[in-house]
């Protein structure tokens, strides 16, 4: 009698090192180390009918992934994430047997020539993962989503006093989907016309959630299901599900800061100006990273100086420019980030005056998308 009771208390499953590590690596980034609740430093393992679902959460963002394992019993256990990841990374590819004592949450991992014991926590104490209710959804290709995230993330703000700017604004409509990010110094607006939604909606997805989605998206193109309600967004693709709390704030009216009349236009090779900026920033002021553009005829002169240390550098670049002679200063680091996010051979700058925002866009256009980047100038006291 006692023997059968003992077997009831054991949950066992067999899984290969590589397969488990691959799945855990997809969702490991959610886990935060300085957490108030110790159980948030764990993965939740839940087995039902030979399928293992692993969850991770920081209460704002939750991720899960599913895989087949060899198991006879159902059950769940919370396992310390760091320790498990470290042991899996150090083991060669082989089958591992997990034996879990559901009475004291003792975990025993047996490999070909080793036995490792650690203690988990009661799976029932793990925070509840939000359920998708009253949702609307849209299908989006993973390559489009990856491209949008890569174009937008660098311009997301980090100021918690302006919560709306700490995420990317998704605007869905019958015309397409628009992704916007800004930190008040730079702005990205990326439109995609082949991903349409029957209902119009807009919501702000936090930076961390998008970094995690981006890291978990497969290299081959796949379909991502993006669902949303008033409080959460749900991404689902392959074996991965990610749920994140939306940022509860109104996104600023970004259209108001995009200047419409920009008579001065500069076209230049992206790699040439980017390499020039990378060299010149070395000589710029370490606080402002200021670089000054001087445009005359078909020549762009870029200067950087740091008066505190008498550092100065100038480069002249040949360009295609139409407009009045103009001198305008920027934060060189912001410009480099913008140019690095544009995967195009040539870029177009549009200026109005030295005190108004400048627009940067790719010269080669794809009829399925529209990319616009904006950078605020540095005000210079002459």
Domain of residue 229, CATH code = 3.10.150.10
Enclosing H/E stretch for 333: helix 332-341
In a domain, 291, yes or no: yes
In a domain, 130, yes or no: no
- Tell me: do 12 and 120 sit in the same domain: yes
Distances (CA, A) of 286 to 282, 291, 333, 335, 374: 8, 11, 10, 15, 22
Contact indicator for 166, 158 with CB cutoff of 8 Å:
yes
pLDDT exceeds cutoff 60 at 315: yes
Residue 12: strand, helix, or coil: strand
What are the φ/ψ torsions at residue 347 (nearest 5 degrees)? -125, 155
By the 8 A CB rule, do 80 and 40 touch?
Answer: no
* 4 pLDDT more than 80: no
Residue 164 within a domain = yes
**Cβ-based neighbours of 322, under 8 Å, separated by 6 or more:** 264, 265
Shared domain check, 233 and 262 = no
pLDDT number for residue 381: 65
Q: What is the layout of strands, in order, in the sheet containing 290-296?
A: 311-318, 299-306, 290-296, 326-331
Its pTM stands at: 0.92
Alpha-carbon distance of 116 to 110, in angstroms, equals 6
Q: Both tokens of residue 21?
A: 């590590």
Inside any domain, residue 236: yes
What does the chain come to in residues? 382
Q: Do residue 250 and residue 262 come from a single domain?
A: no
The residue among 212, 235, 255 that closes a domain is 255
Question: What's the half-sphere exposure (Cβ side, CA atoms, 13 Å) at 189?
Answer: 16
| Claim to verify: residue 23 and residue 119 sit in the same structural domain | yes
* Domain co-membership, 221 together with 193: yes
Q: Is the pLDDT of residue 269 over 50?
A: yes
> Could you report the per-residue pLDDT of 211-225, keeping only the tens digit for each?
999 999 999 999 999
- Per the listing, tokens 């948030």 go with 40
How many structural domains are present in the chain? 3
Tokens of 298: 């078909």
Same domain for 278 and 341, yes or no, is yes
380 in any annotated domain: no
Range of the domain at 364: 258-375
Give the tens place of pLDDT for each residue, 328-377.
999 999 999 999 999 899 999 999 999 999 999 999 878 899 999 999 99
Could you give the angle at which helices 17-27 and 81-90 cross, rounded to 10 degrees? Answer: 140
pLDDT, tens digit (0-9, with 9 covering 90-100), for 97-127: 999 998 999 999 999 999 999 999 999 999 9
């Amino acid at each position: 009698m006692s023997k059968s009771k003992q077997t009831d208390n054991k949950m066992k499953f067999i899984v290969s090192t590589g397969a488990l590590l691959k799945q855990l690596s997809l969702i490991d980034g959610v886990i935060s180390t300085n957490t108030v609740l110790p159980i948030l430093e764990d993965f939740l393992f839940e087995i039902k009918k030979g399928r293992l679902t692993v969850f991770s959460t920081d209460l704002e963002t939750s991720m899960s992934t599913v895989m087949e394992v060899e198991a006879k019993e159902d059950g769940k256990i919370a396992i310390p994430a760091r320790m498990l990841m470290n042991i899996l990374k150090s083991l060669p590819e082989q089958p591992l047997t997990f034996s879990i004592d559901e009475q004291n949450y003792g975990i025993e991992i047996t490999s070909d020539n080793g036995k490792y014991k650690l203690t988990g926590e009661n799976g029932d104490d793990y925070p509840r993962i939000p359920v998708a209710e009253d949702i609307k959804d849209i299908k989006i290709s993973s390559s489009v989503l990856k491209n949008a995230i890569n174009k937008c993330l660098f311009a997301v703000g980090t100021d918690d006093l302006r919560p709306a700017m700490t995420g990317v604004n998704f605007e869905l409509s019958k015309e397409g989907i628009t992704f916007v990010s800004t930190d008040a110094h730079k702005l990205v607006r990326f439109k995609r016309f082949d991903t349409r939604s029957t209902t119009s909606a807009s919501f702000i997805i936090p930076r961390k959630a998008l970094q995690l989605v981006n890291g978990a998206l497969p290299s081959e193109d796949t379909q991502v299901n993006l669902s949303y309600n008033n409080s959460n967004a749900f991404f689902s693709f392959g074996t991965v599900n990610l749920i994140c709390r939306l940022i509860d704030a109104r996104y600023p009216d970004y259209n108001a800061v995009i200047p419409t009349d920009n008579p001065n236009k500069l076209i230049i090779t992206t790699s040439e100006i980017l390499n020039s900026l990378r060299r010149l920033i070395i000589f710029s002021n370490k606080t402002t990273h200021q670089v000054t553009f001087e445009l005359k005829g078909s020549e762009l002169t870029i200067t950087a100086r740091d008066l505190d240390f008498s550092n100065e550098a100038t480069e002249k670049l040949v360009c295609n420019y139409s407009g009045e002679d103009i001198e305008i200063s920027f934060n060189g680091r912001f410009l480099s980030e913008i140019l690095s996010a544009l995967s195009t051979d040539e870029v177009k700058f549009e200026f109005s005056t030295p005190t108004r925002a400048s627009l940067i866009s790719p010269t080669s256009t794809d009829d399925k998308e529209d990319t616009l980047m904006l950078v605020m100038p540095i005000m210079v006291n002459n």
